[in-house]
Chains A and B, each alone.
Chain A
């Protein structure tokens, strides 16, 4: 399982990128994207998905 970013809502603040414990988020061109192979949904590290918890836009980091 993995999370994804709804690009049209993203403000490109980059907070999710440096909070992600799995190094799964990257700016590709104009968009932040989550690499589904790397995303662990923060299992075992944090109680909530970091990208979704820090993102200022509601429903932008969501289960893929």
Chain B
């Protein structure tokens, strides 16, 4: 496999669309599968069309495409024990920071500003704080305006499901292609412990009644979306001792009703956030507990493992948040959309994706042809494009992959405090990074200094820059082969 020379990173940074097109053209096409719109082998082409540039619905796309959320719909019709509305919805966003609430007009301005600046932008979502289906008028007004200006942007909403059924037809009319429903239970007895009340048909319900209504509306909404071919993702918050075991049942129910993806997220419950769970001392799961549950769910509805529990106003590739650069005070009052940059970027990515998928498929074939046992846990520092292209010291997270005979699987990410801030390594942070890397065998990065490398080694973690700028899967398969003393060129059939 040969890699195209153009760097996506430089593409995303260029300022004029003319420049972009030139670099796009000079890249040429080095892929053998060029011309075909290649897609992962396990997927039909209609589905692939829907998700190929949606970073949350497609693991492949999340290396290339960015999403943004606008917080236009702050009203909510239920109360969750993991949410403190005084601050933020901790379900669809990180808690503790009040999001900038926007009117539909302000949201439009912000979307245009981001689209002009960030060619990776492909998805606009409304994901709290509040419920996008309940606070419907603002959701609708925002989507209508944005779709008029930027017709090719994908529209996406998150909802708790209570007000979903009565809006499904309008969602379809608005061309909303992706819906996320937060479903934490299918048994009202479990639901009772998560939802203190709901507001439904002009009444507040509590206890079992509330949980029962919520459950019925969620299932109905999901079925209605599936009937209309709208892709659904189910978010579940894993709450140890409350619904952790129960989520296996939830996974079955949602799969039966056509859910496309299931995303299990860890409960965030810091007492400082003032949520009910935070105050009662309900703990969240650790990374290994979360992974163990996700592994048990494998084989049910397809799992999403690359969720970053992003903020309700997050902007950028998953794992990065550039929201602060696009607050209203940074945006001029009058702004026109310039489509050039996004168009050029998409053309290039279409070509690079072919090459990346070919590399990935080859890596899988190599692995499948080996006859060794054992798995390898690899943490990768990347800033997108599917490559190992981030310096160890600059990484804000590692993406974790598991290599075994069954293939290379993305299993999640580990957030860290970057080791170097402003160019100097800080002794203090390495301890935290080592703790976050529990269970990891090898760290792959574009560059790493001798000192942190040595310290990692002492903690039993190998780190190497040997595969810098390679595709992640290709590097991991080569690494796996080397670990088991196999020459990968021989192993490939």
Contact = CB atoms under 8 A, between A and B. Distances in A.
Nearest to B137: A18
At the interface, is chain A mostly helix, strand, loop or mixed? loop
A13 B204 contact: no
A48 B203 contact: yes
Given A15-B76, A15-B77, A18-B137, A56 B85 contact: yes
Contact of B202 (A12, A18, A46): A46
Contacts of A9: 86
Given A11-B86, A54-B75, A56-B76, 14 more contacts: A13-B76, A13-B129, A13-B130, A14-B74, A15-B134, A15-B135, A18-B75, A18-B135, A48-B204, A53-B199, A53-B203, A53-B204, A54-B204, A56-B79
A6 to B, nearest CB: 13
A52 to B, nearest CB: 8
A47 B74 contact: no
B101 interface: yes
A48 B203 CA distance: 7
Contacts of B77: 15, 54
Interface string B43-83: 00000000000000000000000000000001111010000
Contacts of A14: 74-75, 135
Contacts of B76: 13, 15, 56
13 contacts: A12-B74, A12-B101, A13-B76, A14-B74, A15-B199, A18-B75, A46-B202, A53-B199, A53-B203, A53-B204, A56-B79, A56-B85, A57-B85
B74 A11 contact: yes
At the interface, is chain B mostly helix, strand, loop or mixed? loop
Contacts of B79: 56
Nearest to A47: B203
Contacts of A57: 85-86
Interface residues of B, number: 17
Nearest to A10: B86
B74 A13 contact: yes
Contacts of A47: 203
Nearest to B138: A14
Nearest to B86: A11
A13 B85 contact: yes
A13 B77 CA distance: 11
Nearest to A9: B86
Contacts of A12: 74, 101
Nearest to A11: B85
Interface string A7-32: 00101111100110000000000000
B150 to A, nearest CB: 26
Contacts of B134: 15
Contacts of B204: 48, 53-54
Contacts of A48: 203-204
Interface string B80-96: 00000110000000000
Contacts of A56: 76, 79, 85
Nearest to B98: A11
A57 B276 CA distance: 12
A46 B201 CA distance: 10
A61 to B, nearest CB: 12
B185 to A, nearest CB: 20
Contact of A54 (B101, B129, B199): B199
A34 B203 CA distance: 20
Interface in B352-382: none
Which interface residue of A12, A19, A56, A57 has the most chain B CB atoms within 10 A? A56
A62 B130 CA distance: 22
A15 B133 CA distance: 12
A47 B202 CA distance: 9
Interface in B190-241: 199, 202-204
